[in-house]
Amino acid sequence: MKVVKFFLLLLLAVSLSVSVNAQKAKPKKGVQPRRVNVPHVYRVDSDNDGVPDVRDQCPNTPQVVEIEEKGQKKKIDVGKGGKGVDDYGCPKDSDKDGVPDYEDECNPQTPEQIASMSTMGPRENKGCPWGDKDGDGFLDNEDKCPDVAGVARYFGCPAPDFDQDGVPDEEDECKDKKGPKHNRGCPEMKDSDGDGLLDYEDGCPDKPGPRETRGCPKVVSAAEEAILKQASKIEFESGKATIPEKLQKKWYPILDKVADILKSKPDTYMLIEGHTDNVKPQKSPFPDNKALSEARAKFVMDYMISKGIAATRLKAVGYGDTKPFEIDSPDTKPLTKPEEIAEYNKTKQQKEMNRRVKMTISSVKLW
């Protein structure tokens, strides 16, 4: 019991001592607290940007700079009030490319741009990355002709073209006379074999031939031509690129005869062109007539390949309803207007003629 009383008295004595010391520590009324004097060297701020010189890595930052923006002069606060400087007293440079933001025309606008550093560029390009204005694969700072597409051997400039005919001098056989590229830059276009096709478009310029075989002599006989014509009328399932099972015995033997012709003429090629009428496919896996005609031409091509004909000798294309039978020729351009196409699909007979897979065998590729 005596021990408890002793500790209570000791605790009371300590509390009274702390209270007395705290009262002594309070400043007297009317007396100002003592100031801490900061050495002058720590308060010097030569450029008045709010960052003292001892910490300022750019002590000569200008207060205000004048820049030109969209043809007008504009003043920007840089050092003034510390608005345009970072914690080290240097002008802010958001993309860290060494070009201050007030001079940089390509400052990052999003965190993604900052992370990817996609806006970094040299001072000579106003802080922007070098581009490729003419799209020739040479950056503008390396391109000797940045506004005109060029080639590597001329450091981004176009190859010389003395007569300005679009054919470079190194390919032009008539450097002082304008001419088309297909005639090697020369103006004279000959028809050496007199078949109506100029030499540059003639597959056989020294042998006359019809336009449908690119000016080359025909390589199929009249009997073989009749087989190709018969095969072109192949009947497919409506809206599909397959032959109905009940008609396979009729058409497969005819396609076999076409394969036999190609086998007998190993140095020839065959162009397969798919055509349709203007009736849109119904309940079909194909979205339009062009896709349907391509699939049907591809069916014939695949059949020939299955019979041992090399794929390199074959080409399948589809024109849909754009090249009606009545106007189909090598010079015919595909029709584009529905009303024009409709003119050649008025009758049942016209539509039947338009539904075809044309096959042309030639000594040269027709594609």
The pLDDT, as a whole number, for residue 81 is: 59
Residue ending a domain, among 103, 125, 147, is: 125
How many Cα atoms within 13 Å fall on the side-chain side of residue 304?
A: 28
For residues 163-177, give the mean pLDDT: 89
Domain range enclosing 101: 78-125
Last residue of a domain, one of 106, 125, 144: 125
- Of 72-86, 208-222, 253-267, the poorest mean pLDDT is in 72-86
pTM over 0.75: no
Q: pLDDT class for 3, splitting at 50, 70, 90?
A: low
Which residues face 65 on adjacent strands?
76
Number of domains in the chain: 2
CATH number for the domain that contains residue 279 = 3.30.1330.60
In a domain, 83, yes or no: yes
Count of other CB atoms within 10 angstroms of residue 256: 13
C-beta separation of 33 from 21 below 8 A: no
d(CA 262, CA 161): 45
Cβ(255)–Cβ(300) below 8 Å: yes
Which pair of structure tokens corresponds to residue 113? 């741009």
Neighbours of 31 (CB within 10 A): 7
Report if residue 270 sits inside a domain. yes
Shared domain for 107 and 225, answered yes or no, is no
Same domain, 103 and 226: no
Amino acid found at 344 = Y
> What digits encode the pLDDT tens for the residues 78-111?
765 556 788 888 888 888 888 888 778 887 777 7
How far is residue 219's CA from residue 41's CA, in Å, rounded to a whole number?
101
Q: Are 249 and 291 in contact (CB under 8 A)?
A: no
Give residue 15's pLDDT: 63
pLDDT tens for residues 256-308? 999 999 999 999 999 999 999 999 998 899 999 999 999 999 999 999 999 99
Beta strands in 148-196 (DSSP E): none
Neighbour tally for 344: CB within 10 Å? 21
Name the nearest CA neighbour of 324 among 337, 336, 339, 335: 335
